[in-house]
Amino acid sequence: MHPTVAEPTAPFPASTHDHASCRDWILRRAESLCAEKKVRFTPQRREVLEILAASHRALGAYDILEHMHRVERRPPPAAVYRALEFLLALGVIHRMAGRNAYFACTRPEHGRGEIQFWICRRCGVVGETESVVIAGEVPRLAATLGFQVGAVNMEIEGECQACRGC
């Protein structure tokens, strides 16, 4: 099972949170999910997740690439995209379509419902919520349209509490 530590962060990560343990939680969850699913958490995949888990910011694939400092040579873009694809499938990162950017998921368990991404346009930090109201409203709207729901993506851009204080 997953590490049963406390929820790593609030829905929107406060600047004061214990990020060392938050970061560890993200990595340990990935480890245990890989063990569960019998897939390999290779050094390359770990490195990409570590880079994302180092902050709560959404990073582009090429931003991640720049952080991958190898002694000999930098890996090709496809290496990053392969790792991102793997981590997305594992459920430990999310993709922000509106920004072509990726970030580490910090919520212990997302249900089948819809997730809302909140991104601060000043500091770039991303938060996540899972509203039961929206999770209920989407199927209701879909029913009136005769629409069969596949994937839902909801992104809210604005300013976080910390940045508004400045």
Binding residues for a second copy, per CB under 8 A?
Answer: 11-12, 97-99, 116, 118, 120-121, 127, 129, 131, 133-134, 137-138, 141-142, 144-161, 164
- Per CB under 7 A, which region of 18-26, 76-84, 128-136, 147-155 contacts DNA? 76-84
Nearer Cβ to DNA (44/129): 44
73 binds, among DNA, a second copy, none (CB under 5 to 8 A by kind): DNA
What letter does residue 144 receive in the DSSP assignment?
H
State the amino acid at position 79 in one-letter form.
A
Q: Which residues of 12-37 are buried (b: 16+ CB within 10 A; e: fewer)?
A: bbeeeeebeebbebbbebbbebbeee
Give the C-alpha separation, 30 to 134, whole Å.
28
For residue 99, count CB atoms less than 10 angstroms from its CB and return exposed for 0-12, middle for 13-18, buried for 19 or more.
middle
Q: Is-contact 58 102, C-beta < 8 A?
A: yes
71 binds, among a second copy, DNA, none (CB under 5 to 8 A by kind): none
Nearer Cβ to DNA (79/104): 79
Where does this chain bind DNA (CB under 7 A)? 39-40, 42-45, 60-63, 73, 75-79, 81-83, 85-86, 100
